[in-house]
Amino acid sequence: MNYLNSVDYIVILVYFAFLVTLGMYLKKMASQSLDDYFLGGRKLPWWALGVSGMASFLDITGTMIIVSFLFMLGPRGLFIEFRGGAVLILPFMMLFMGKWHRRSECMTGAEWMIFRFGEGFGGQFARIVQAAGQIILTIGMLAYLVKGVGLFLSMFLPFSPLVCSLVMIGIAALYTMASGFYGVVFTDMFQSVIILIAVIAISVMAMMKTTDVQSLAVLAQEVTGSAHWTTSKLQFYTSMPKGYEAYSHLAMFAMFYLLRNIFGGLGVGDDPKYFGARSDRECGQLTFFWTWLMMIRWPMMMAFAVLGLFLVRDLFPDQAVLLHAADMIKDHIGAVDKSRWADVLSGIAHYPDRYPELVNGLRNLLGGDWQTKLNLLSYEGTVNPERILPAVILFLIPMGFRGMILVALIAASMSTFDSTVNRTAGFFIKDIYQRYLRPSASNKELIYMSWVFIFAVVAIGFGMGYTTRSINDIWGWIIMSFGGGIAVPAMLRFYWWRFNGGGFAVGTVVGMVCAILQRLLFPYLDERLQFVFLISISLTATIIGTFITKPTDRRILENFYRKTRPFGFWGPLRKILPHDQRASMKSEHFYDIISLPFVMIWQITLFMMPMQLIIRAYDAFWATFAVFAACLVAIYFFWYRKLPET
């Protein structure tokens, strides 16, 4: 099998060489101080941070998941991705969470705990727990990236998914270690240009394939069985293929995920981009720009889904052969765990001589190019929607240009990796190593230790990713179980004056431990139950921890309230501010809160409109555009005009 030609390999090699070279070039700038290494010296422009934010939210794994739901459901796949892929936490960061974090003048979210709770036991405990929680979350995210990258690249290269992900993540780790936050931002800007080229190319290909929305609806029903594939309306119930039946109650899932985003959004914002922003105004501007840029992802993913419909129709006129093929493999290989299914398929496809009898049967069943078709086979004996993205590239993108598309998707994943790892290294170095282990460590030693930490956390992430059943499985656990376990204390720290470091630490520790136990003991628990179960336990532990430990020192609280100026239950502290400042805060809070629903609807319609254009659903597009325009006008009057000048 030879899926790439010399031009493709040259494009990929040049891309990787450029990243490593840029990382080495920026090494001197990044090594001047910890501020430079982790925050870019707090002097990067807001638009550059916005571009970096967009790139950091794109990755191969997430793109594969979203394409899989768009392939199964059409534009309605957006509603399932309310759980994370639609990034509905951005409105909260744009309106108030970003500027609230920036006002602390801290470097990391863990250092922020001292600003909020003080230097006493509660504050120190909270700081350690926050840093540990971020490290664990990053390990989960790396497992998610490892799984998706391996599944993707193994369809193009003669290596197992594990080897493919090891090479790509290894290169990303190298330039991230060398260049710090400067490398994150500058490589993200470069990679965003590549991504934009891919978006335009794939979108044009899909629109040329589609003649009208009615014929596409017929094709989609033939391939997926969905009679409402081209609609954008949220339905209570929809049909789903094997392995995804839990998402059949579409409206219920969408509303549940929306509530989860609202709950989680009230506690986010400890991103280096906000700590490194130069003003409150720039916090809002960079997030507004970030959200606009996130829109470009959706036409590309919708285009891949549309092309996937044509591909599956041509490859498998009778999809029943897939069930027979899956049964044949299981009968020949023996018991196969679902988490190892991709490795088994890769082994059969790349080393057919090891399975002569099985290969003869698969060749007769699947016909020509059986090895490539095999990659689309799911464990359940259906089309594997998580592999539609690489399959489209493999079959429909011509050699030569294929390398460019691969680089664009690799770039997306690299951007997610570098920002996640850089942020987490900051937690470890600033909040654990320097604070408690080596207070007098030199700047050089701290940067070297960040390299050691990055290597260690990547290795652990690989171990977890190797045992994951599917990318959808690990993403669901990260968002619903682990995210639910830490959401309550993350939120309460901004809105309740009595909340203290002890409550934060106890609630977070109990939430994290229970999330890990759930993963080990009840790995197949429904995502909704994961969230409800974890959030209930964490809330109980948080309240108990708050009242069995001492309240935060009054001077610490007053300093936090004066600087941050949050809304919520702060009655005992409001009177410490002059009357004119209280009036200004009240006005600021009013416009921040009233803008929230408009920003959320604006963002949802912003993502929906380009998908409707891709499938030529023009009537639906104009209806969505009317809502989009009305919300944009409201945002201008309620938010943009109220931004401070500096």
Instruction: Check residue 68 and give its pLDDT.
Output: 92
Per-residue pLDDT tens digits for 537-546: 999 999 999 9
User: Which residues are bridge partners to 383 per DSSP?
Assistant: 377
SS3 362: helix
Rounded CA-CA distance 290/287 in Å is 5
Site of tokens 């890990």: 516
Where are the chain's structural domains?
A: 6-312+400-642, 319-382
Rounded CA-CA distance 427/130 in Å is 8
Q: What is the CATH code for 6-312+400-642?
A: 1.20.1730.10
Quick check: 295 and 78 in contact, CB under 8 A?
Answer: no
pTM: predicted TM-score of the whole model, two decimal places: 0.82
Instruction: Check residue 249 and give its pLDDT.
Output: 87
Minimal CA–CA distance to 625: which of 641, 604, 646, 640?
Answer: 604
Instruction: Check residue 3 and give its pLDDT.
Output: 67
Extract the residue ranges of the chain whose pLDDT is less than 50. 1, 30, 33, 36-39, 41
User: Which residues are bridge partners to 377 per DSSP?
Assistant: 383
Rounded CA-CA distance 72/94 in Å is 32
Distance set, CA 327 to CA 234, 246, 282, 333 (Å) = 36, 23, 57, 10
Residue 383: what are its φ and ψ, rounded to 5°? -65, 130
Distance set, CA 270 to CA 273, 276, 426, 585 (Å) = 8, 11, 12, 22
Rounded CA-CA distance 405/146 in Å is 19
Per-residue pLDDT tens digits for 203-253: 998 999 988 999 999 999 998 888 899 999 988 888 887 778 878 888 888
Instruction: Check residue 37 and give its pLDDT.
Output: 46
Instruction: Check residue 412 and give its pLDDT.
Output: 65
Quick check: 426 and 38 in contact, CB under 8 A?
Answer: yes
Instruction: Check residue 42 and give its pLDDT.
Output: 58
DSSP track, 212-261: -HHHHHHHHHHHH--TTTT--S--S-----TT-GGG-SHHHHHHHHHHHH
